[in-house]
Amino acid sequence: MSLLAGKTALVFGVANDRSIAWGITKAFHEQGATIGLSYAGEALEKRVRPLAESIGVTFVESCDVAKDEDIQAVAAKAAATFGQVDILVHSIGFAKKEELSGAYYRTSRAGFHLAMDISVYSFTALAQAFQPILRPGGALLTLTYYGSEKVAPNYNVMGVAKAALEASVRYLAYDFGPQNIRVNAISAGPIRTLAAMGVTGFKDMYKHFTAVAPLQQNITPEDIGGTAVYLCSSLSSKVTGEVIYVDSGFSIVGMPEKME
Ligand code: NAD
Ligand code: 0WE
């Protein structure tokens, strides 16, 4: 099956081979998409370029989403290389490490702004910059987490940012609907990626997750890739403004059977 044949996808947020963005990229590649990759800054190039080469991707561009000029530059390069783009994946989030432990009320003004800028505004900024070259029938996709809805201890300002990101998905879906461009989010269960390493209590949470989730299995970037293919292909042609959970069912459980 080639669900994405003839489609061009730009994926933002590959840091290494454990990144959710890389799981999505591999799934898109398997479905015949033409792919472009964008990474956060020159320091990551030595990791991202070999990954890109392993699947024959030649469009590999640095873009710090905190910089409007970087975003404008990738959009211009994408226009020159591909003409139009069908799919944009935003798999980016960041907060200062010190904001991700302790009490949420201690969040600094600067820490709040940074988390909102990188984790929320950047999705809107990409939508804005790529709007002129998005092909009707296309799709925008971002990644979120359950800490937007319920308190996940230590997730703190990222939880507030993800709530705003999910609201952005709905507003963007409304704006882009008339262009026949769909906008959705995947809410992923915990995955051991770079962004999850060194997070206070991640190991315990990872174990607790399989004890509570109906499917009793942890989530992989490949699991996310499958749902990303669905959300960016015509299989989901009338689905927009949604947050789809890929979490082994964790979020439907209101009362764990046993505490361990
Ligand atoms: P990751 O570290 O592999 O990916 C995060 C990416 O954000 C990195 O590639 C990093 O370079 C990029 N980034 C950070 N600041 C940037 C900037 N200024 N400009 C451009 N890129 C920047 O980790 P991941 O877990 O794959 O995270 C991807 C997305 O998935 C994030 O939005 C994260 O919040 C979300 N998510 C992760 C989990 C999890 O448990 N790992 C669960 C649910 C949602
Ligand atoms: O969205 C995320 C990762 C968010 C994240 C992680 C870091 C760690 C390193 C954002 N910024 C940074 N900045 C750093 O310096 N997840 C869903 C994974 C995650 O992160 C948590 C979690 C979970 C789950 C942080 C605290 C509690 C739970």
pLDDT at residue 197 tops 90: no
* Res 198: pLDDT: 79
* Res 201: pLDDT: 84
Among 58-67, 136-145, 171-180, 195-204, the least confident range: 195-204
Nearest ligand to the CA of 18 is 1
The whole-angstrom distance between residue 188's C-alpha and the CA centroid of its chain comes to 9
* 252, part of any domain: no
218-249 tens-digit pLDDT: 999 999 999 999 999 999 999 999 999 999 99
Place of tokens 């990222």: 158
* Res 134: pLDDT: 98
Tell me the CA–centroid distance for residue 258 and ligand 1, in Å. Answer: 32
Q: Mean pLDDT throughout 42-53?
A: 95
**Residue 218 is part of which domain span?**
8-247
The whole-angstrom distance between residue 242's C-alpha and the CA centroid of its chain comes to 14
Beta carbons of 182 and 89 less than 8 angstroms apart? no
From 143, 146, 169, 202, mutation site for ligand 1 pocket: most ligand atoms within 8 A of C-beta:
143
Q: Mean pLDDT throughout 109-130?
A: 98
Q: Which residues are catalytic?
A: 145, 155
Tell me the CA–centroid distance for residue 190 and ligand 2, in Å. Answer: 9
* Res 199: pLDDT: 87
Q: Where are the strands (E) in 27-171, listed by range?
A: 34-39, 59-62, 85-90, 134-144
* 253, part of any domain: no
* 93, part of any domain: yes
3-class SS of residue 181: coil
* 35, part of any domain: yes
pLDDT at residue 42 tops 60: yes
Task: Identify the residues whose C-beta falls under 6 Å from ligand 1.
Answer: 13-15, 19-21, 40, 44, 64-66, 91-94, 118, 143-145, 188, 190-191, 193-196
pLDDT at residue 260 tops 90: no
* 256, part of any domain: no
Among 12-16, 151-155, 201-205, the least confident range: 201-205
- Give the closest residue to 86 by CA, choosing from 165, 8, 149: 8
* 163, part of any domain: yes
Place of tokens 């809410």: 187
Q: How confident is the model at residue 259 (pLDDT cuts 50, 70, 90)?
A: low
Read off the amino acid at residue 241.
Answer: G
78-94 tens-digit pLDDT: 999 999 999 999 999 99
Q: What CATH number does the domain containing 100 carry?
A: 3.40.50.720
* Res 200: pLDDT: 81
Domain count along the chain: 1
* 159, part of any domain: yes
* 255, part of any domain: no
